[in-house]
Amino acid sequence: MINVEVIYATPEHQEPISVLLPIGSTIPDAIQAARILEIYPEIAEKSLVCGIYGEIIHDPANYALDEGERVEIYRPLLIDPKEARRQRVLAK
């Protein structure tokens, strides 16, 4: 068995959920075990972008998790970072 954390952060709330999984478990297995989609039903209909410690995993169904990894579910960007920076400069 391996222990991993699953996290989905909103602007108001962030709480990692630890789950114990069989060796060879994948990112979708961890998300299901953590019941993230029940806690945050608003992300259930979106295509989830996931990563491990800030690195996007492009094929999460085939990524075998290791002990201690943190599965991160990313929210879509509301504004392009370059545009946000440009707006901040113009506001000064």
* Confidence check: pLDDT of 14 > 90: no
Taking the whole predicted model, whether its pTM rises above 0.95 is answered as: no
The correct answer on CATH 3.10.20.30 for the domain covering 2-91 is: yes
Buried b (16+ CB within 10 A) or exposed e, 25-44: bbbebbbbbbebbeeeeebe
* Confidence check: pLDDT of 92 > 80: no
Mean pLDDT of 7-33: 92
Predicted confidence band of residue 70 (pLDDT cuts 50, 70, 90)? very high
* Confidence check: pLDDT of 34 > 90: yes
Query: Which pLDDT score is estimated for 45?
Result: 62
Number of Cβ within 10 Å of residue 10's Cβ equals 11
* Confidence check: pLDDT of 64 > 90: yes
